[in-house]
Amino acid sequence: MTVRTRFAPSPTGYLHVGGARTALFSWLYARKHGGRFVLRIEDTDLERSTQESVNAILEGMTWLGLEYDEGPFYQTHRFDRYNEVIEQLLEKGLAYRCDCSKERLDALREEQMKRKLKPRYDGHCRQREIDPSRPHVIRFRNPVSGAVVFDDLVRGRIRVANEELDDLIIRRSDGSPTYNLTVVVDDADMNITHVIRGDDHINNTPRQINLLQALNLPVPQYAHLPMILGDDGARLSKRHGAVSVMQYREEGFLPEALLNYLVRLGWSHGDQEIFSLDEMVQLFELDEVNKAPSAFNTDKLLWINQHYLKSDDPGRIAHLLSPHLGKLDIDPAQGPDLVAVVEAQRERASTLAELAQISAFYYRDFENFDQKAAKKALKTGALEPLALVRARLAELPDWIREDIHAVIAGAVETLGVGFGKVAMPVRVAVTGGAPSPDLDLTMEMIGREACLRRIDKAIDYIQKLS
């Protein structure tokens, strides 16, 4: 048997990190077993589905590198097929027309809740003959006895009595098919062997199994993943911060870092924290997925992202950093080599956005000094060291770090003070107080004219305070 998994999002918004984890687990399982990974767009909710959301899903999948082998397939292109199956169910007496009004159904629900019963359709139209020309829905004739039993690959054996399930609607009054019907038909037609999805779908599974069995179709294996919670224990939502995959890209996360973090949300392999994609494929197993919900921890994601920033090829990081500098109106071609900046700065940042922020001073003058740094370093006593260093820097024949270091060391010797008394004011003068590597390397990369101009600015700043 060839393993076939699928990711089947509804295009009613962005690609959520919960959906991305589902896609990742489905992708990993298919790759692990040499199978096929199918992308299906479940767009039957015509009012809420948008092309913009479809594009966001496809863009998110591409950014994460979760390449699908087949698809994307769109449910709106398959309405004829769904109607064909519905007609088969009607002909076999496995489905029936229902013209119950909204008022009757609301009253039924209210009465059941008052009696503390589980709200469910009472089968009022099961034996009635409904005129097809009148407004109606189509309901599946669910078995009234027995139980649905299936072995969930994450949760273990699950048993649901059929008497707890009602006759679900499979076609609305406007003629559109419903979720449970379309999913069943698609999974069967696409030969899906393993349905890996969030546990918010677990209540649908017994209904879908009954539909599959009524149609004499094979039942796939199911694996329901635990939900993702925020730090406060509530279901992950916008109020916890970024939840859209593409928002993480905008904030400067690397796709491999987000994948690495998502795979650890509900799955583990000993104490290992960092996994390459090849390792994920090799080690991932559904029976090692936790049953309990997982809490999203942004600090942990930042730690993983920093690991990849520090360890990845600096040329690639420079390529990814460039757009973030562009957002700051910085053209990285107008300044030091971007790869050199990455190598100098990347250990000081957790995201590409942060890396761009702390590296901006290499490419343009800053408007203001960091107040905390200036208060500590740009005092009256710093005027003499700054003036001496500025004069000697201006006389250097070559602007290389060794000669810059010699100037600063010479000023220390001339003034008879500690190295920090000279280096600290100079560092704040040329960087504005931003995090930076060795001072001589920093100044070499900034360039002679910018360094002299900024030291003049620092001197002026101190004089105005005096």
Q: Per DSSP, which regions of 251-336 are E strands?
A: 294-295
Sign of torsion over alpha carbons 356, 358, 363, 365 = positive
Provide the H-helix boundaries in 16-101: 17-32, 51-64, 79-91
Q: How many CA atoms lie within 13 A of 451 on its CB side?
A: 26
In DSSP terms, 196 is beta-bridged to 223
* Letter string b/e over residues 325-339, b meaning 16 or more CB atoms within 10 A of that residue's CB: beeeebebeebbebb
How is residue 378 written in tokens? 């740009």
How is residue 323 written in tokens? 């757009």
Residues in the chain: 466
Q: Which helix (H) or strand (E) holds 140?
A: strand 137-140
Provide CB contacts within 8 A for 116, sequence distance 6+: none
How is residue 96 written in tokens? 């029936």
Contact indicator for 139, 125 with CB cutoff of 8 Å: yes
How is residue 420 written in tokens? 């920090």
User: Amino acid identity, residue 351?
Assistant: T
Task: Just list the catalytic residues.
Answer: 238
Q: Which helix (H) or strand (E) holds 344?
A: helix 338-345
How is residue 192 written in tokens? 């899906």
Distance CA 406, CA 440 (A): 9
How is residue 444 written in tokens? 């070499």
In DSSP terms, 426 is beta-bridged to none
User: Amino acid identity, residue 344?
Assistant: A
Task: Using alpha carbons only, give the angle 188, 193, 195 rounded to the nearest 5 degrees.
Answer: 90
Distance CA 162, CA 139 (A): 15
Contact indicator for 455, 386 with CB cutoff of 8 Å: yes
